[in-house]
Amino acid sequence: MKKVELLNLKGEKVKDINLNEEIFGITPNNAVLHDAIILTMASLRQGTHKTKNRSEVSGGGRKPWRQKGTGRARQGSIRSVQWVGGGNYGTPVPRDYSIKQNRKERRLALKSALADKANEKAIIVLDNFKVETPKTKEMMNILETLKVADKKVLLVVDAFDDNMILASRNIQNLVLILAEEINVLDVVGTDVMLVTEAALKNIEEVLK
């Protein structure tokens, strides 16, 4: 049974708690985890890139000069790809970059990412997380107290409030999300995961 310390915002130990072995104690499946990362990154691509091909640019209705006898290369339209103002060839068109992964694989990938974090001892569980003022300085003081101010931090909570959002939004190395929004890319892309006890219970209930 994996155990972690439950800390308060002063960095003091409150008690030991057990992590769910079905989530944090599994052997990570790196292949499924890799597929989930590719899927998440692909879903962030809009796919709205577009250039005009020869049929879409204006002009070029008639042949610019006769076929033979001019000494110049034969041309059929001034909107061919070799002309300035002509159409483009082989350039991007709108497309959907999304990739499919079944539900069991997505759950396994998230479990694998969380198990990796647990193996690295990079999960810090807090009894609660509350900031009194919407000040970046207060949030930084909490991170410094927990000795994670110099790391990329994923903060997972069970509920937002305005002070928490305002205090964290200017800190570049801090990602603030709700427990139900936790995803593979954020877990893998950060150095340490701060999670409240309530948020941890929510995650375990969903993934167990």
Q: Which two tokens stand for residue 71?
A: 């000494």
* Domain topology for 3-30+102-207: Ribosomal Protein L4; Chain: A; (3.40.1370)
What is the pLDDT at residue 138?
95
Domain borders along the chain are 3-30+102-207, 46-96
**pLDDT, tens digit only, all 208 positions of the chain:** 688 999 999 999 999 999 999 999 999 999 999 999 999 999 999 999 999 998 899 988 889 999 999 999 999 999 999 999 999 999 999 999 988 999 999 999 999 999 999 999 999 999 999 999 999 999 999 999 999 999 999 999 999 899 999 999 999 999 999 999 999 999 999 999 999 999 999 999 999 8
| pTM attached to this predicted model | 0.80
Q: For residue 187, which of 164, 167, 203, 172 has the smallest C-alpha distance?
A: 203
Nearest alpha carbon to residue 144 among 173, 164, 123, 169: 173
Structure tokens at 103: 């539900």
pLDDT of residue 103: 93
| Neighbouring residues of 17: CB distance < 8 A, sequence distance ≥ 6 | 3, 4, 5, 6, 125, 197
For residue 181, the model assigns a pLDDT of 93
pLDDT of residue 178: 96
